Amino acid sequence: MTNQKKRVAIIGSGVVGASAAFYLSKTLGNQLDIYDEGTGQATSAAAGIISPWLSRRRNKPWYRLVKAGAALYPEFLTETGVDIQNSPIYKNTGALIFKSKFEYLEEVAELAAERRKEAPEIGETEIMNADRIKELIPIYEGTKPGLFVSGGSRVDGHLLVEHLQKAAENNGAAFSSSYAEIEEGRERKYRIKTNQSTKEYDAVILAVGAWLPNLLEPFGYKVDIRPQKGQLAELEIPCTQTGDWPVIMPEGEKDILFFPDGRAIIGATHEDDSGYDLSIEPQLLKPMIEEAAEEFSSVFKNPLNLRYRSGTRAYTSDYASFIGEVPGMESMFTASGLGSTGLTAGPIVGKMLAQLILGEKTDLPLEDYPIENYIQKINPAEQIL
């Protein structure tokens, strides 16, 4: 069967599914269908910082994944039609990293110099004093120095997936906002049902993040994925020339991102006990906003047009990611476990899933992201118990 005749479905249109859809749509055109009802999608709720190089996390496959994702962004978005110099979707603004002690900042600067050897996209780094920071961000009222990393960027998840979906549709793909159910069809095909249609496909990508157990457990699988709720606050500040301001990465959960026309985002929470609950809880974000006002700028004390976002991240028990063909389910592919780095790694993971569908070599070796460690067929006797 040639790729041109292969009919493919993608369930889930977050950053992974939407990226896979763009890549596949260039080859498959109208042989590609995308399904996403939109509930709890982490990407649409997120605003991301693309600056993964200075993490102390020791998982080398994870680092290679996020490093490749960060490096891919400019080329990928340009290919989709984004003017990366003048787009609200993505901007290389640089990132400012803050630490509680100056010696910690020096350690991060040393790490950046070492990792730049294999990741030149880190760009230049400089430890800046408060006056120098104020030149970049006029509202800064703090006294701490920060490490400026010129390669850091910010991305708006909602605008990104919206753009990728339209780009795939322009290439001939069809999008459905209906809830999709999947079952095995005839002759090694998969049948997808919505309240509007029933169609059969030769191959399927499940890009549903934390909802993967819901789709695979009916097939008799145990899936090592748990949800983590994330909330963030979106507000306006009394400044308009904010589109080029660097993103702020203090210690802890709180990050601050600036977008054009005075829009700022603070967050996000990491809630392990909320399951799939997507309700907004402003009391959890209030301390983050207050800390931003105290540590960074008093303009956050009385935010304008305060709004909130909520989404669900996907984590495995060991915080690693997996990518590949579902064991025992030929031509059904999936990836999950990206957690809070979904926006950074999403495009490269989506590209790899597209490569698997098309029978191409993946950009990164799949053995580094072993799917069989996280998706396993349940013994029938175990199911009865």
Domain stop point among 315, 334, 368:
315
54: in domain: no
376: in domain: yes
Please say if the pLDDT value at position 188 is more than 80.
Answer: no
296 compared with 187, residue with greater pLDDT: 296
Q: Can you give the residue range of the structural domain that contains 211?
A: 3-43+158-225+318-384
Q: CA triplet 169, 170, 173: central angle to 5 degrees?
A: 35
83: in domain: no
356: in domain: yes
The per-residue pLDDT for range 327-380, each reduced to its tens digit, is: 999 999 999 999 999 999 999 999 999 999 999 999 999 999 999 999 999 876
| Pairing state between β 247-249 and 95-97 | parallel
The per-residue pLDDT for range 276-305, each reduced to its tens digit, is: 888 999 999 999 999 999 999 999 998 888
| C-alpha Rg value of the chain to the nearest Å | 21
197: in domain: yes
Distances (CA, A) of 7 to 20, 74, 75, 173, 240: 14, 30, 27, 11, 47
Q: How many separate domains does the chain show?
A: 2
Lowest mean pLDDT among 34-38, 131-135, 159-163, 223-227: 34-38
Residues 237 and 142 in one domain: yes
Instruction: Quickly tell me which residue has 């064991």 as its tokens.
Output: 327
Domain harbouring 194, CATH code: 3.50.50.60
Residues 181 and 214 in one domain: yes
Residues 181 and 194 in one domain: yes
Residues 231 and 221 in one domain: no
Distances (CA, A) of 204 to 5, 89, 117, 234, 353: 14, 28, 38, 35, 10
86: in domain: no
Instruction: Report CA 190 to chain centroid distance, whole Å.
Output: 27
